[in-house]
């Protein structure tokens, strides 16, 4: 695995660990009684989905710019659909904690999306500088 991709995945893992630790602390202190047992698996799921898409993004950088943009947009849409299906499945199976789950997933989605965008813009800038 390339050094740049390892660094990106390490950052993603760090974000996931922070989510896990802060989330567990919040659920044990401020949000007592709101904890849902799927939380650690949600963090793992979000990490795996984002890691898979980062690997896809990183490999698509080798392609022409318009192909990369199409890949980025398609994968962003695919991730959104995956998360919406996950929310729907959770709401239908566990309606009691569905609101807390949806809010947690939304906060994680926003954070991971900001990281995605920051990394992609950094990689595109590097690619542009290397091509000049």
pLDDT of residue 25: 94
The size of the chain, in residues, is 132
Pairwise pLDDT comparison (16 vs 124), residue with the higher score? 16
- Here the tokens at position 36 are 């849902």
Say if CB 90 and CB 38 are below 8 A apart: yes
pLDDT of residue 17: 97
Residue 19 CB partners (closer than 8 Å, separation 6+): 43, 46, 108, 111
3-state SS, residue 35:
coil
Q: What is the pTM of this model?
A: 0.85
Rounded CA gap, 112 and 46, in Å? 8
Quote the percentage of the chain above a pLDDT of 90. Answer: 48
Task: Assess whether pLDDT exceeds 80 at residue 93.
Answer: yes
pLDDT of residue 2: 82
Say if CB 60 and CB 11 are below 8 A apart: no
Task: Assess whether pLDDT exceeds 90 at residue 47.
Answer: yes
Provide the mean pLDDT of the chain. 88
Region 19-46 average pLDDT: 91
Say if CB 50 and CB 65 are below 8 A apart: no
How many Cβ atoms from other residues are within 10 Å of residue 25's Cβ? 11
Task: Assess whether pLDDT exceeds 70 at residue 132.
Answer: no
């Amino acid at each position: 695995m390339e050094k740049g991709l390892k660094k990106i995945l390490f950052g993603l893992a760090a974000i996931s660990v922070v989510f896990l630790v802060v989330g567990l602390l919040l659920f044990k202190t401020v949000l007592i009684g709101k904890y849902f047992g799927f939380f650690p698996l949600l963090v793992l799921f979000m990490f795996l989905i984002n890691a898979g898409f980062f690997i896809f993004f990183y490999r698509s950088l080798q392609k022409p710019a318009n192909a990369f943009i199409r890949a980025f947009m398609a994968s962003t849409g695919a991730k959104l659909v995956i998360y919406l299906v996950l929310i729907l499945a959770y709401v239908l199976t566990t309606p009691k904690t569905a609101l807390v789950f949806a809010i947690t997933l939304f906060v994680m989605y926003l954070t991971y999306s900001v990281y995605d965008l920051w990394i992609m813009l950094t990689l595109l800038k590097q690619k542009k500088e290397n091509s000049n």
